[in-house]
Structure 1
């Protein structure tokens, strides 16, 4: 885990301070947002999905009654929350005891420790669980033991498992898919649309995904709005796609979107992975005797967090692309959000940027030419001052 940034005499800065994370989750979104905020991140919620309540899900009810009528030889529990919810929904329908008796008459496999705990909490006993918590390892175990002629119930975990189901059927099994919760588009598209807009205007540093359907739903909504291409460009470029695991990442990686994933598919592990890697991606520059670190919506100056307005950050990033070199006012004007055609907007935003940084000499004015970051001598190309020959610096 990355420690908070510290400088003598300066309050420690949380590892995710200055970064904005978009959360697309519906389930456990508040929990994920709280973990991110504790580490200093600004969180923007934009649920890409909504969950059909289990008790109202006729597809689950039909699958449950079918398994009671013809009990399975093997049941695969993939998530603890899903298995518990399934039993609770059956209890609401008055058939929980019948369901447990049907499942208990066969063999139960658990994909991981949480699913195993849910099985045992219901009074049943699991026969096997993989060390890897992997659906692929569960499939290999089933195929090794032989499934020809067996009736197998597979509790889905919010998304289909076509590879697992197809492989079992090809091996001769009768597979009953049990959708313990189903995803639908959000009833209120406003938060999702605002999140998409924030991504496209550069206001989001990280998009967090906890399910493959959330990624698919976000891209489907972007497509409906005619901005799918721009969204993919953002995810392939400045916006980091953070995924809880390989199943969630699969639809993004199929579109050549790079993803960041933890080794274990857990929310806590995902957040720890982010706090370990995201600060290391920040741009650091030695400027005017100070260390400048550019984060999403803020800057660290010698380890001190300085919040910068969006226009100021746009100017600062334009200057940092060519540190030490002069950037003209017309070029800086094009970098400003809002599409203003008045170069006076650059001067106004620059004055606010300098005020936000608290050290005006970090950005120098080059008379009649533009502005430059005052990169320390020897720090890199453009540091010797040769690019200011045609304009006095002040």
Structure 2
């Protein structure tokens, strides 16, 4: 058989908004079929006056400590300030304050602006940031650059640590897309394992998916599928945290970068997502929904791929109709299972690869 591209035959769901084109192109270049459904979209700053007003208040207040949470937020904040003629004043205020920075990317942006951080929470977690601030805020004015959709209770936590005043700066916001029809298709597709893998680049997107599934009474089915059937890839531990809390074991690269996530997912699917078996017609291989027989590739439907996967994993043992039906949850009846089997055989170059064992079930013809 010809060696396919590393992700040929696999169906991936990409849930990010920012930098999604880069991610999709990387997967498609490796042969994957990609569905893009952004769970949250960056809202345009139609009214920049709010951010400008927040910046003016910060400049006037001269906070002793400024908490920087994201690289993108900091860049957008500085760009908006410069457009309003406040750039130098903002950088001067930041330069006089102690900067506490969350994450490596935000650290890089701070350095690029010519600023020196007082401390960096290298793991990118808010909890680590709060640990760094313990015993340092009593009676001080603190400014907090909010992280997009949510501050995760940070203002309250800063006050509990002794801050006398907390100034919030919101450089950008997310708009919820959970009511979109595309979200419903994503939820159902993941529940039925129509996707081989799903990627997340932010924790808010994970929360948005869970909320969308809950609103559709599909959360238990979603969690079960993500834990058992669909590979979940994340860009780092912060993104992975809500998944782990839900009992899911996602892929988390050692380097918290999108390129590292892509590489890890390619390696994982290549090693664990490809099934092979020897049959009377020669070797067969299932990669995602692409089934190869004697060098010929055929594209299967999600239900057909589930049946083939179950038969290969059985190693030639007989599977009853009930067992095959359990492998294909979307089969609502034995008639639906029979129809899927019939169409599967017609789709195969060698229909006899699937053997019928009278009154017992079906097996791979090994």
CA distance in 2, matches of 1:319, 1:40: 25
Partner of 1:351: 345
d(CA) in 2 for partners of 1:285 and 1:114?
Answer: 41
Q: What is the deviation of 1:159?
A: 4.6
Which residue, 289, 305, 308 being the options, matches 1:297?
289
- Verify: 1:224 aligned to 2:218, yes or no: no
CA distance in 1 between counterparts of 2:320 and 2:131 reads 62
For residues 77-107 of structure 1, the C-alpha deviation after alignment (integer angstroms, 9 at most, x for no partner) is: 3332221111112234443333223222223
Structure label with greater radius of gyration: 1
CA-CA distance at 1:250 after TM superposition? 2.0
- Asked if structure 2 preserves the Cα contact closer than 8 Å seen for 1:311 and 1:337, the reply is yes
8 A contact 1:309–1:353 mirrored in 2: no
Task: Confirm or deny that 1:134 pairs with 2:139.
Answer: no
What is the match of residue 115 of structure 2?
A: 125
1:249 pairs with one of 206, 215, 240: 240
Counterparts of 2:304 and 2:88 in 1: how far apart (Å)?
Answer: 63
Structure 1 residue 133: deviation in Å?
Answer: 4.8
CA contact (8 A) 1:75 1:107 kept: yes
Note the C-alpha offset of 1:25.
1.0
Question: Which runs of structure 2 are paired with 1:123-202 in the superposition (5 Å)?
Answer: 124-128=114-118, 130=120, 132-135=122-125, 137-143=128-134, 146-162=136-152, 165-173=155-163, 174-186=165-177, 189-202=180-193
Deviation (angstroms), 1:119: 3.0
**1:274 to 1:370, Cα distance in 2 relative to 1, 3 A:** same
Deviation at 1:139, TM superposition (A): 4.0
The CA distance in 2 between the partners of 1:90 and 1:121, in whole Å, is 17
Between stretches 231-240 and 113-122, larger displacement belongs to: 113-122
- Indicate if the aligned counterparts of 2:197 and 2:232 stay in contact, CA closer than 8 A: yes
Provide the C-alpha distance between the structure 2 equivalents of 1:73 and 1:367, rounded to a whole number of angstroms. Answer: 79
Describe the SS at the equivalent of 1:208: strand
1:103-114 aligned at under 5 Å gives the runs 103-114=94-105
Quickly say closer, same or farther: Cα 1:182–1:303, change in 2 above 3 A. Answer: farther
Secondary structure of the equivalent of 1:264?
Answer: coil
SS at match of 1:183: strand
100-109 or 320-329: which moved more? 320-329
Specify the alignment match of 1:390 in structure 2.
Answer: none
Contact 2:192 2:225 in 1 (8 A): no
Secondary structure of the structure 2 residue equivalent to 1:12: coil
Corresponding residue to 1:319 among 311, 327, 330 = 311
Aligned length: 361
Q: Distance between the aligned counterparts of 1:72 and 1:327, measured in 2?
A: 68
CA distance in 2, matches of 1:333, 1:109: 55
What are the Cα deviations for residues 265-299 of structure 1, in whole angstroms up to 9, with x where unaligned? 21111111111222222353432264433332123
Preserved contact between residue 199 and residue 234 of structure 1 (Cα < 8 Å)? yes
Tell me how far 1:45 sits from its aligned partner: 0.8
Q: Identify the match of residue 19 of structure 1 among 6, 10, 18.
A: 10
CA distance in 2, matches of 1:304, 1:57: 57
| Structure 2: distance between partners of 1:131 and 1:227 | 36
Residue 373 (structure 1) shift: 0.3
Give TM-score scaled by structure 1 length: 0.79
List gaps (5 residues or longer) in structure 2.
Answer: none
Is the CA contact (8 Å cut-off) linking 2:74 and 2:145 kept in structure 1?
Answer: yes
CA-atom RMSD in angstroms: 3.2
The alignment status of 1:69 with 2:60, answered yes or no, reads: yes
**TM-score, normalising length from structure 2?**
0.84
Q: Is the 8 A contact 1:130 1:137 kept in 2?
A: no
Counterpart secondary structure, 1:260? coil
Deviations 1:229-258 (A, max 9, x none): 221221122012222122212222222222
